[in-house]
Amino acid sequence: MDPKLLVTIILFGPLIGAAVAGLFGRRLGDTVSMAVTTGFLMLSAVLSWVVFSQWTWGGLQPFLVTYAPFITVGNFVSNWSFRLDGLSAVMLVVVTTVSSLVHLYSWGYMAEDGSKPRFFSYLSLFTFAMLALISASDFMQLFFGWEGVGLASYLLIGFWFHKPTANAAAIKAFVVNRVGDFGFALGIMTVFWAYGTIQFAPLFPQIGASVPRGWDFAGGHFALVDLACSLLFVGAMGKSAQFFLHTWLPDAMEGPTPVSALIHAATMVTAGVYMVCLLSPMFEYAPVAKHIVVVIGAVTALFAATVALTQNDIKRVIAYSTCSQLGYMFMAAGVGAYQASMFHLFTHAFFKALLFLGAGSVIHGMAHEQDMRRYGGLAKYLPVTFAVMTIGTIAITGLGIPGLELGFAGFYSKDSIIRAAYSAGAAGDPLGYFAFVMAVFVAGLTAFYSWRLAFFTFNGHARWTSEDLEHHWHNRDHVHDDTHGDHAHADTHAEPDHAGHGRGHEHKPHESPWTMRLPLILLSIGAVFAGFAFTEKFIGVDHIAFWKGAIFAAANNHVLVEHEAPWWIAQSPLIVSVVGLLVAAYMYILREGMGARLAAQGGPLYEFFYNKWFFDELYQATFVRGAQWLGDLFWKGGDQRIIDGLGPDGISALSVQVGKGVGRIQSGYVYHYAFVMLLGVAGLLTYALWAWNA
């Protein structure tokens, strides 16, 4: 089949599914709506793998399909199109594979929700927006997809809109991303102002020849390419939840767990990383912007890892893990290893989706309890979930054997980033060594909090009782009985008790239905083999032939080339990962309860990490209250007192006062009116005599 037809079906299939479920879901019913949306996603996923196979092994070359003009104003030209190259080919399989499995998983997870057509429509719309983003051939379509995933995330995070916390989380995600998108929009304007086009094909060849161009402002000289890339990266910071603009990501856990998996593994948060790699022809000539990317990525990785150490909500631990892993990807892009960045994005999609959906299986089996302190000993009750989450934990911690190059997916991609950072340092970039040290240290933290989650959840003594689960099920049934309409379930969004633990029986944790287990098994295969199967294509000897020019590397960029280094450089990720594993095993298995005792003692460092470096409190005290103060100033002071006070309110008040004053002289007595008339006649006569004599 013609590849151009294939990519068209891939792009518009999810949109058709979203339209059918969203517009006609009530008439078609839940099953038909779910089948249509899931079917189109499955079709897109299969065709994406076909296109990826043709690209990787079949000699498929880059091409562009133009569907229709979008905006044409003078030299500002944008078209609806589909750009296929190495980057979009990789992203196609990431987005459609994870999204199709999330759709299938949601059949079980959302089985009791009253708004399944709406939910599945939003999921498919989310996927379409991301596909539009990754297939863009210019900044305008990229911005359309960029805002599209923001809209879909708002709808999905706040899906249970009757919950105040869900509404607040959706608004927070929307507002924080608008801050980043403001910088992104300024970056696009800067590109058009500086280079006269927003289309990638004519733009990228101009960059190298125009590097000396700058902008003189306020006594300073700013390189245009550095300015444009720095502004564009502000957008990436918001969308990919990097330091300063990260605060929306943990709160996004208010949405259903399948949404968390889709946001964190395949769509919204990967958009920023993809954008930086796509713009490698610009970032390669923007050293200041690249250094900003390295520093922000490294600080984000450290920040999120330290916070994850202390969190007790199973979904929040994995959410901060995502934030930290995105920091790795930006570190790689910042030192020039765009290929390693995309490789980690690719492998991360499998094991992060696996961990999130596995967490959803645990939550489902534990009657919607998300606090890990009320778990324990679940391995024998949830054997499949235990097995796949163990695979995901091994993958994210990057356990593997250097030299033999044998390990799970994360081993190949994370180690490639660490090696690239060291290579950048060896090549003369001091921030390369900084990124290397941070990456190794965070790898140890990642191992600790990941195994802490696994041991806390599945091993040790049960910290739950049948009465606890019965209480949760009773509350769930109570909510179900007392609510109505599309949002009838609040937190009651999972399958009924498939283990037969109904009323009158002893409640125990139970495994998920097959619609939830099958995606977990398929994702675990990717978490095991994705790194081994594609390392040579992404970063190895075949990487130039694989990317086919989609990623640009300057002549002095040799970070993917191995530099001579002490033996411990290659072994350091394994060493710190094993140390993190052993410390977690000691605290949560051998000395079970030690972690709880340390947490109970508190301390300034623990409080600092547990409260997420107090960013929410800081932003509340400055930006939120500052915005409220300004709003009150302009509303009460400017609008009500000045504009309304001097305008309509003031005039109406004056009219009332004048009316009251005039009303007082309307006494109703004839002699009063005759006296006034006499005064008037006297006045007229006086004026006439004065005028006659003059």
Strand partners, 73: 76
Residue 55 · residue 538 · CB < 8 Å: no
How many alpha carbons fall within 13 Å on the CB side of residue 344?
29
- What percentage of the chain exceeds 90 in pLDDT? 69
Residues 570-588: tens digit of each pLDDT? 899 999 999 999 999 999 9
The Cα–Cα gap between 288 and 210 comes to 16
Q: Is the pLDDT of residue 676 over 70?
A: yes
Residue 474 is predicted with a pLDDT of: 59
In 210-337, where does DSSP find H-type helix? 224-239, 248-251, 257-265, 271-278, 280-283, 287-308, 314-334
Q: Which residues contact 453 (CB under 8 A, 6 or more apart)?
A: 314, 317, 318, 372, 393
Burial class of residue 204 (count of CB atoms within 10 Å of its CB; 0-12, 13-18, 19+): middle
Q: Which backbone phi and psi does 221 adopt, to 5 degrees?
A: -115, 125
Q: Which of 238, 242, 311 is nearest to 610 (CA)?
A: 311
Residues 446-463: tens digit of each pLDDT? 999 999 999 999 998 888
Q: Among 71-85, 146-160, 234-248, 486-500, which is the least confidently predicted range? A: 486-500
Split at pLDDT 50, 70, 90, the class of 1 is confident
The Cα–Cα gap between 68 and 73 comes to 15
Q: Which of 566, 553, 265, 297 is nearest to 417 (CA)?
A: 297
Report residue 68 as tokens.
């229709």
Residue 483 is predicted with a pLDDT of: 34
Residue 141's alpha-carbon distances to 45, 79, 228, 537, in angstroms, are: 22, 8, 18, 28
Residue 475 is predicted with a pLDDT of: 62
What's the mean pLDDT when you consider all of the chain?
89
Q: Which of 318, 312, 309, 322 is nearest to 359 (CA)?
A: 318
Residue 283 · residue 229 · CB < 8 Å: yes
Q: Which of 278, 273, 263 is nearest to 84 (CA)?
A: 278
Mean per-residue pLDDT, 424-440 = 93
Report residue 515 as tokens.
């619609």
- What percentage of the chain exceeds 70 in pLDDT? 94
Report residue 85 as tokens.
């190259």
Indicate the pairing of strand 400-401 with strand 220-223.
unpaired
The number of beta carbons lying within 10 Å of the beta carbon of residue 482 is 9
Q: Which of 385, 329, 341 is nearest to 523 (CA)?
A: 385
In 382-504, where does DSSP find H-type helix? 383-397, 409-426, 430-458, 466-482
Q: Which residues contact 597 (CB under 8 A, 6 or more apart)?
A: none
Report residue 614 as tokens.
């107090």
Residue 187's alpha-carbon distances to 145, 245, 332, in angstroms, are: 16, 17, 22
The Cα–Cα gap between 235 and 57 comes to 34
Mean per-residue pLDDT, 202-228 = 86
Q: Is the pLDDT of residue 174 over 80?
A: yes
Q: Which residues contact 366 (CB under 8 A, 6 or more apart)?
A: 374, 375, 378, 464, 469, 472, 509
Single-letter residue type at 184: F
Mean per-residue pLDDT, 318-324 = 95
Q: Is the pLDDT of residue 501 over 90?
A: no
The Cα–Cα gap between 294 and 337 comes to 11
Residues 15-44: tens digit of each pLDDT? 999 999 999 999 999 999 999 999 999 999
Residues 621-671: tens digit of each pLDDT? 988 888 888 888 888 777 777 877 777 777 787 788 888 877 777 777 787
3-state secondary structure of 376: coil
Split at pLDDT 50, 70, 90, the class of 504 is very low
Q: Which residues contact 481 (CB under 8 A, 6 or more apart)?
A: none
Split at pLDDT 50, 70, 90, the class of 387 is very high
Residue 293 · residue 334 · CB < 8 Å: yes
The number of beta carbons lying within 10 Å of the beta carbon of residue 309 is 17
The Cα–Cα gap between 628 and 621 comes to 10
Residue 240 is predicted with a pLDDT of: 95
Q: Which backbone phi and psi does 77 adopt, to 5 degrees?
A: -125, 130
Q: Is the pLDDT of residue 490 over 80?
A: no
The Cα–Cα gap between 592 and 589 comes to 5
Site of tokens 């009063």? 672
The Cα–Cα gap between 573 and 553 comes to 26
- Which residue would you say has higher pLDDT here, 599 or 494? 599
Split at pLDDT 50, 70, 90, the class of 569 is confident
Per DSSP, 269 falls in state G
The Cα–Cα gap between 573 and 582 comes to 14
- Which residue would you say has higher pLDDT here, 82 or 494? 82
| Sign of the alpha-carbon torsion through 559, 565, 567, 572 | negative
Q: Is the pLDDT of residue 480 over 80?
A: no
DSSP result, 493-541: -S---TT---TTS-----PPPHHHHHHHHHHHHHHHHHHHHHHHHHTST
Helix/strand/coil percent split, the chain, to 5: 70, 5, 20
| Sign of the alpha-carbon torsion through 577, 582, 587, 588 | positive
Distance of CA 402 to the CA centre of its chain: 32
Residue 162 · residue 264 · CB < 8 Å: no
Residue 296 is predicted with a pLDDT of: 97
Q: Is the pLDDT of residue 536 over 80?
A: yes
Q: Is the pLDDT of residue 486 over 70?
A: no
Q: Among 95-104, 251-260, 330-339, which is the least confidently predicted range? A: 251-260
Residues 262-298: tens digit of each pLDDT? 998 888 999 999 999 999 999 999 999 999 999 999 9
In 76-138, where does DSSP find H-type helix? 86-109, 116-134
The number of beta carbons lying within 10 Å of the beta carbon of residue 364 is 26
Per DSSP, 371 falls in state B
Q: Is the pLDDT of residue 531 over 50?
A: yes
The Cα–Cα gap between 376 and 362 comes to 11
Q: Which residues contact 487 (CB under 8 A, 6 or more apart)?
A: 114, 115, 160, 161, 162
Report residue 493 as tokens.
């969004």
Split at pLDDT 50, 70, 90, the class of 506 is low
Report residue 511 as tokens.
């495994």
| Sign of the alpha-carbon torsion through 272, 273, 274, 280 | positive
